[in-house]
Each structure stands twice: as C-alpha cells, then as structure tokens.
Chains A and B, each alone.
Chain A
C-alpha cells in the first residue's frame, strides 16, 4: 500500500469562523443590537493527511469536532482559511468546476434528487451536467443498477421513496460520472439494519470494482468496522488518531469488560476495584443497574485473572463473563479522553 498513488492530499488545513456572541435573554439581545461581539472559532485547526487511491477511509469524531467542515473544504464548498487540499493534483479553490468533476458527494441528511420528479429524471439531468457520453452513461447505469438495485423505483417520484431507497438513489446519483473520490456523509443515518447492510455491501463493491476512493463520515461504528481499513479521528479541529483499525485496537484495545449479576445487590458495597488496584480514572468505569454490574477496565494495569479472582472472592455471583471491548468502547474512551462529551458517553460512569 505504501507504493500506491496518492489520491487526496491535505496539508495543514485550517478554517476559522466568526461567531456572534450573545448573552442570554432579552437584555442580551438588546445588547447585541447595539454592540455585537464576535468570537473566532477554530473549526479546523491544522489538519494533514493523505489518502491513497482506492482506499476507504473512515472519518470519525464527536459532534462538532470539525469533520463536516473538513469534508466541506475537501468538496470545494467551503474555502479554507489557510492550508491546502488537493485531489488528484487539482485544487478546489483554483478551478472548482474541474475539481468537482472528480468527486461525488452524498450528504445523508440532504438529498440531491429532484423531489417532485421521477428518479430517472434526476439522472438524465446529471448526465447533462457532467457531460457523460451516452454509452458511458448506459454502462454506468447498468452497473449501478446491479449494485444498488434501482430498477424497482426508478420511475417513481423521489418524494415517494423510502429512506433506504432514497439513499441508494442518492449514492447512484453521486457516482454516475464515475468520480475518483466519493464523499459519504452519514450514509446510513436513520436506516434499519438490513438496509444498512445492503448499503455497506454496495459501497464496498463499488470501491473494489471502480477503484473509487471513499471518504466516509459516520457515527455508526459498525460502518467503520465493516468498510474501513483506516480511520482518521478528529476532535476539536485537530487530528487525534490516524491509522489502521487494527492499530487502534492494538493501542487502545486492552480494555476488557467484566459483567456479572450479584446474588445480593447490597454486596456491591464490598467491591472497591479502584482503591484496591489503584486504577487511574481512564482505566476503569463501572455501570450498575440493580444487581447487574458492568466493569470496564484496562487489562494492562490489572490482568483478567486477578480481576476475576478478586471479584469472586468478595461477592457471590449468579453469572459472570468477560469480553473484549469492541471498537465502540475504544472510541468512546478516545472521545472522552479528548475532554469532549458526546451523547454516546451518557452511560459512562
């Protein structure tokens, strides 16, 4: 993979926004009326990375981390404050029109399809916009049809499509001109498990068969696990991790989860892992609902064996098991480590 041709190159990318500061309430509104104050917000603060051709890369980070801003700069929608990004040697700010021919974009929460018209009409217009020759169009349409199964609804008005159908249609729309890079912003948001699975398979197939480089942002970590070899994680505008998924697991994967049910819920008081093993805050978290206890701990600090024997020696349990922390757990820890709280952290003690 080291010798592969570089498709996307991002260097020291920055974006600053000016944000009006308003004090709360009516008084604040009137103050802002006469004396508006502004803050400079660094949404993206010096991010660099490279993506080789044909790779699927996962772009993750908590809400408000700046990943959408990066994507929007990469797609030529936002102009960077400084730094550069280029795709296949083209720079969006220099020649936007040439640049966007190389990319396809899907924003999961926003459709690019003509709402009131039959789906086919959107494709006809896109064919003209991207100047796709008739043969290439037919060939491409046949391929997309096979992968995304559009035939069932290609003549229906877009507004009558289900969310899953619409997402398939949107992905097809962004791939019609055979772009070198595909940006997928939350492509599985709001979809059910089966549809999610179909869409993931389709993305994988398209990337393999057309050699399309894919940049995927998502909050659904299953997307990442199934699709991406490599992830880039950003938080507060900065890159906090960049590497293969297996490395992430290696580096942060020492977390184990110990789950058991107490015979007598009051016994919980007898357990004091933190004090007895002197865990650091990051290395231990405990959830308890009634008699069910869930302990997540770092197995580098204390071995699984020690934890088990300690637990069994202190209390009587009905049931006990240990498992590897999944990728979600790792990322949750990373998000929290960054000091950013997210809705996924609500269950965390």
Chain B
C-alpha cells in the first residue's frame, strides 16, 4: 500500500512537469471549466430571480422548500467529490475512448503493478481544480449569506461524519467510471457509456425530492450520485437523512466490488490491437 502511495506521488510529479511544458493548454482548459460552472450558476441565479424558494409540492401543498442559498450549497457540494475524483483518476476516460481501442493498454499489462491502479494514477488532471475551487467558494458564499438560524445550526457533528464518508462518495465516481470504462475490453470503446452514466450526476446537483420515484431510486441506489451530493449536503444543512451516510459506505463498497470484478473479467478478454 505504501508503495502505491509513493508511486502515485511520483506519477503526479511527472504529470506536473508535463503540465509546465504546456502551460497555455492547461490554463485554457481550466478557464473553460470555470466558465462552464459560472454559466450554470448564473443560470441558477436567473431561474431563482423569479421565485422566493424552490418548493416541493404535493397536490398544491408545499411539503419542503429550499432557499437559493441552500440550492447553491448543494450545487457547490456536488462539485467536491466529483472534482477530487476528476483530479486524481481522470485517466479512466481515456481508457474507454482510445487506450483500449488503439491497443495502448498493452503497456499497463507489462508492468509489475496493479493494472487498474496504473491506469488510474497515470494522469493528474489539474483542470479539476477549477471545479473544486468553485465548489468551495459556493459552499462558503452560501453559508455566509444564509439566515442566521440555518447557519448557526451547522456544527462539527454534522460536518465531520460527512468528511469521513467523503472518500466513499469519491469511490462511487471512481467505481462507476471503472466499471463502464472496463466495458471497452469487450467493445473496444465505451467512453460514451461512461458519459451516459456520468450525465446522471446532473440530477444530483438539485434537491432529490423534486424528482419522481423512479429517478429518486435510480440516483440513490443504482447510479447513486445523490449520495455524493444532495444527501450529505442536506445533512450538513439540516441534519436530515442520517441514514444516507452508512448507506453511502455500503453502496460504494458494493459498487467498487462490482467494478473490480468487471475489470478483471475484462482484462482476460482484452484483445489488444493489430494482428
């Protein structure tokens, strides 16, 4: 284990050196991601300009509602685990889009380290810092501008458990990417499947209650992105949904197991390229 952490550090260092060679590309990419988030937040602002709070109603009766600040908080929180996964484990996208297709996966199999780990840590994606920074800024900004009684209710007993569960939330992203990227061992390309699953994450950026039962179930248990965003965020804000924390641990471990199974099955079906 220690060896792998050391190796990961070395890979990150190498990648940073590479980055220095292509400063402009990196900057443009980071600006792009930043703008993308900014546009979405601006969009949220425009939508909320017309209403006092986002309400969940049943038969015209308001059951639950979230102020603009709370929605921003949830949105900002959703960027953190996603951004961290993006920062460290982005190379899985490449696997599904071109690494397997071009036969470049050969390289990973001729090294005496775990192939999954090798793919995972080879690339360090600094663009993701844009996402993480915007997430943190949104969380701080929204907390500061919340009504006092909401902000005061937030304490360490709500924040610490969420921080403890954070690695498992990240694991959800990594596992889903791993499982879908590994499909490329059979089909040569699977980046589009990863993309499809990843887009489900869009649902998690808003309060889960506004969706119908089907979507709610899907984003809590099947592609459990709600566990990485809405549930932990609302636990911090209101102390609601305590159950989601242990569920996150269990579901993420289950997903991880499944993804590893698919990965190793996939490797034995890997066909390389050429003759």
* Distance in angstroms between the alpha carbons of A114 and B11 in the assembled complex: 11
Tell me the residues in window 1-49 of chain B with beta carbons closer than 8 Å to chain A beta carbons. Answer: 3, 6-7, 10-11, 14, 17-18, 21-22
Q: Which of A65, A114, A121, A129 contacts B112 (CB 8 A)?
A: A129
For the complex, is A298 an interface residue (Cβ under 8 Å from B)? Answer: no
For the complex, is B268 an interface residue (Cβ under 8 Å from A)? Answer: yes
Determine the chain A residues whose CB is within 8 A of the CB of B18 once the complex forms: 114, 116-117
For the complex, is B272 an interface residue (Cβ under 8 Å from A)? Answer: yes
When the two chains form their complex, are residues A66 and B275 in contact, meaning their CB atoms are under 8 A apart? yes
For the complex, is B195 an interface residue (Cβ under 8 Å from A)? Answer: no
Determine the chain B residues whose CB is within 8 A of the CB of A75 once the complex forms: 106, 109-110
For the complex, is A51 an interface residue (Cβ under 8 Å from B)? Answer: no
For the complex, is B107 an interface residue (Cβ under 8 Å from A)? Answer: yes
Determine the chain A residues whose CB is within 8 A of the CB of B17 once the complex forms: 117, 121
When the two chains form their complex, are residues A112 and B107 in contact, meaning their CB atoms are under 8 A apart? yes
Determine the chain A residues whose CB is within 8 A of the CB of B21 once the complex forms: 116-117, 157
For the complex, is B104 an interface residue (Cβ under 8 Å from A)? Answer: yes
Interface size on B, residues (CB 8 A): 30
Return A212 CB to nearest CB of chain B, in Å: 16
* Known A63-B275, A69-B275, A110-B104; contact A100-B110, beta-carbon cutoff 8 A: yes
When the two chains form their complex, are residues A78 and B113 in contact, meaning their CB atoms are under 8 A apart? no
Determine the chain A residues whose CB is within 8 A of the CB of B113 once the complex forms: 97, 129
Determine the chain B residues whose CB is within 8 A of the CB of A79 once the complex forms: 267-270
Return B131 CB to nearest CB of chain A, in Å: 24
* Distance in angstroms between the alpha carbons of A116 and B19 in the assembled complex: 9
When the two chains form their complex, are residues B112 and A17 in contact, meaning their CB atoms are under 8 A apart? no
For the complex, is A93 an interface residue (Cβ under 8 Å from B)? Answer: yes
Tell me the residues in window 28-59 of chain A with beta carbons closer than 8 Å to chain B beta carbons. Answer: 43
For the complex, is A128 an interface residue (Cβ under 8 Å from B)? Answer: yes
Residue of B17, B109, B113, B267 contacting most chain A CB atoms (<10 Å): B109
When the two chains form their complex, are residues A100 and B111 in contact, meaning their CB atoms are under 8 A apart? yes
Interface size on A, residues (CB 8 A): 36
For the complex, is B274 an interface residue (Cβ under 8 Å from A)? Answer: yes
For the complex, is A184 an interface residue (Cβ under 8 Å from B)? Answer: no
Return A13 CB to nearest CB of chain B, in Å: 15
Q: Which of A77, A93, A112, A121 contacts B14 (CB 8 A)?
A: A121
* Distance in angstroms between the alpha carbons of A65 and B275 in the assembled complex: 8
**Closest B residue by C-beta to A19:** B271
Tell me the residues in window 100-130 of chain B with beta carbons closer than 8 Å to chain A beta carbons. Answer: 103-107, 109-115
Determine the chain A residues whose CB is within 8 A of the CB of B275 once the complex forms: 43, 63-66, 68-69
For the complex, is A310 an interface residue (Cβ under 8 Å from B)? Answer: no
Determine the chain A residues whose CB is within 8 A of the CB of B105 once the complex forms: 77
* Distance in angstroms between the alpha carbons of A13 and B222 in the assembled complex: 41
When the two chains form their complex, are residues A77 and B269 in contact, meaning their CB atoms are under 8 A apart? no
Determine the chain A residues whose CB is within 8 A of the CB of B110 once the complex forms: 75-77, 100, 103, 105
Determine the chain B residues whose CB is within 8 A of the CB of A100 once the complex forms: 109-112
Using CB atoms and an 8 Å cutoff, list the residues of chain B in contact with chain A: 3, 6-7, 10-11, 14, 17-18, 21-22, 103-107, 109-115, 267-272, 274-275
Provide 23 A-B residue pairs closer than 8 Å at the C-beta atoms, listed in order of the A residue. A17-B271, A43-B275, A63-B275, A66-B275, A68-B275, A76-B110, A77-B105, A77-B106, A78-B270, A79-B269, A98-B112, A100-B111, A100-B112, A105-B110, A110-B103, A110-B107, A114-B18, A116-B21, A117-B17, A124-B10, A125-B14, A129-B111, A129-B112
Beyond contacts A65-B275, A66-B275, A117-B21: 7 other A-B pairs, Cβ-Cβ < 8 A, are A17-B271, A75-B106, A96-B109, A100-B112, A110-B104, A128-B7, A129-B112
